[in-house]
Amino acid sequence: MSDRPSLDRLRELGRAQDEELAALDLEGARERFLESAAGGSTHPGAARLGPSRPRWIAPAAFVTLAGACAVLLLVLLPSSASLSFAVGSAQGQVGTWIAATADAPLPVRFSDGTSLALDANARARVVAADARGARVLLEGGRLTATVTHAATSTWSFNVGPFDVLVTGTRFELSWSPVREELKLVLREGSVSVSGPLVGGRRTVSAGETLEVFCQQRRFELTRGEPRAGAPPPPSSTPIAPAASGPAPAATGDRAIVPKAADASPRRPSWRDLVAADEYKEAMTAAEAEGFDGLVARASAADLLMLADVARFSGKPARAAAALTVTRSRFAGSGEAATAAFHLGRMAFDQRRSYAEAERWFGVYLAEQPGGSFAQEALGRVIECRELTGSASGAREAARRYLARYPAGPHAAHAKSLLEEE
């Protein structure tokens, strides 16, 4: 985030101040004030041109101008301190996993007044924060956000392959990594969304709902109240159907009752639990079935799903194992490229291993240069090179990014890097 516009305005203010002070002739005003206070000229024999009177114009103008400068400094130069935030009642840490339980939503409150509420089972991270805002990664589930507006605010939300750029607004955002479905409901303000199907920058305004269905390759932008969601997944303890047919025949005072079928409910599989967005439970079920065995025989799509299950339930080593097997068993496939992207994101967000992350993002871009995650991968390459101290490499990646995504979420930062050359 560049401070260049603010610094340019300060330079203009400084030039204007110099011109104003020169015009006021402060030294001459000072001498005239001292002369009038002494009751006469400072030079013997000098002619008195009229009654003297105190000259307060220059000092007053100086005070007024200095006050204006102080106010503008406060407005134009925001605090350099990064935002702090709390997760529930605990102090939040950038990069740390935030997961709401199945029992209740989890509040996240920032020092600028911005607030988030993660719905039950939602998972997110604050991956970066500075004086102007933060970048939040929503891994899965639904959150409600109220972003405090300021002239220099810059907030972004990464959701799957999508980026949501926010200044100040109120909205609800959800992402299902299994169904690959995004839903954004705008209550106040406006945001811009970039990613697959929606294009480089699509504005969503108050009262509108954006839904993107990646697997069906379509999206809908509608006005009015959002339509009702899909019915909840079936309960793991379904109600047994009512018995049909005639009542059992009675013999004397005894009834002949047919033997009841086994009514014990079927235990849900890990796939059933994933469909219900219950990832911790899905991980428990996968471990019960034998996670390593599942990984050894799973399809490419199931391997990515197992990796999501492990990531979202706080098992990064299990996730990395599933992604690595995807790379080896299904080399050259789209799923293998997606696995490379997720390996890069895990290295970046969880371990802060930026050189490793850059390598995986580069693998993804080589294998899927026009893929769903290409825009984010290239933006992350810029960040990786900055964080490893490669200024020239970051500028080279910035030029590539602007050539492909001139209105992308990393575009402003990329331009600021090139302006520093």
Residue of 59, 26, 53 lying closest to 39 (CA atoms): 53
Residues 59-84 have a mean pLDDT of 52
Residue of 194, 186, 182, 118 lying closest to 156 (CA atoms): 194
Residues 274-294 have a mean pLDDT of 88
Residue 2: band (very low, low, confident or very high) from pLDDT cuts 50, 70, 90: very low
Tokens representing residue 86 in the block: 């709390």
Residues 27-37 have a mean pLDDT of 49
Taking only the tens place, the pLDDT of each residue in 195-222 is 888 876 788 988 899 999 988 888 898 9
H/E segment holding residue 21 = helix 4-24
pLDDT of 80: 52
pLDDT of 35: 52
* Domain spanning 270-419: CATH superfamily: Tetratricopeptide repeat domain (1.25.40.10)
pLDDT of 390: 93
- On the question of pLDDT at 133 being above 70, the answer is yes
Q: How far is 386 from 78, CA to CA, in rounded Å?
A: 23
Residue 345, Cβ density class (10 Å: 0-12 exposed, 13-18 middle, ≥19 buried): buried
Residues 263-280 have a mean pLDDT of 78
Residue of 246, 245, 249, 265 lying closest to 257 (CA atoms): 249
**Domain 85-223 maps to which CATH number in 3.40.50.1370, 1.10.3720.10, 3.30.429.10, 2.60.120.1440?**
2.60.120.1440
- On the question of pLDDT at 408 being above 80, the answer is no
Q: How many CA atoms lie within 13 A of 153 on its CB side?
A: 18
pLDDT of 184: 93
* Virtual torsion, Cα 385, 391, 392, 393, nearest 10 deg: 0
Residue 290: band (very low, low, confident or very high) from pLDDT cuts 50, 70, 90: very high
Greatest distance between any 2 Cα atoms in the chain: 145
Residue 165: band (very low, low, confident or very high) from pLDDT cuts 50, 70, 90: confident
pLDDT of 335: 92
Residue 86: band (very low, low, confident or very high) from pLDDT cuts 50, 70, 90: very high
pLDDT of 57: 42
pLDDT of 22: 47
pLDDT of 81: 67
Name the average pLDDT for the chain. Answer: 76
Residue 365: band (very low, low, confident or very high) from pLDDT cuts 50, 70, 90: very high
Residue of 194, 174, 110, 192 lying closest to 146 (CA atoms): 110
Buried b (16+ CB within 10 A) or exposed e, 289-324: eebeebbeebebebbbbbbbbbbbbebeebbbbbbe
Residue 23: band (very low, low, confident or very high) from pLDDT cuts 50, 70, 90: very low
Between 301 and 242, whose confidence is greater? 301
pLDDT of 63: 46
Tokens representing residue 79 in the block: 């605090």
pLDDT of 18: 52
Q: How far is 286 from 389, CA to CA, in rounded Å?
A: 41
- On the question of pLDDT at 393 being above 80, the answer is yes
pLDDT of 211: 93
pLDDT of 117: 92
Residue with tokens 């299904």: 330
Partnered with residue 143 across adjacent β-strands are: 118, 173
In the chain, the amino acid numbered 102 is A
Tokens representing residue 244 in the block: 């049909």
Tell me the Ramachandran region of residue 381: left when phi exceeds 0, alpha when psi lies from -120 to 50, beta otherwise.
Answer: alpha
H/E segment holding residue 33 = helix 26-38
Q: How far is 161 from 385, CA to CA, in rounded Å?
A: 21
pLDDT of 166: 87
Least confident of 33-42, 101-110, 260-269: 33-42
- On the question of pLDDT at 44 being above 50, the answer is no
Residue 60, Cβ density class (10 Å: 0-12 exposed, 13-18 middle, ≥19 buried): exposed
Cβ pair 310, 322 in contact under 8 A:
yes
Tokens representing residue 85 in the block: 């935030």
- On the question of pLDDT at 291 being above 70, the answer is yes
Q: How far is 281 from 372, CA to CA, in rounded Å?
A: 29
- On the question of pLDDT at 340 being above 70, the answer is yes
Taking only the tens place, the pLDDT of each residue in 224-269 is 765 554 443 333 333 333 344 444 444 444 444 444 455 556 788 8
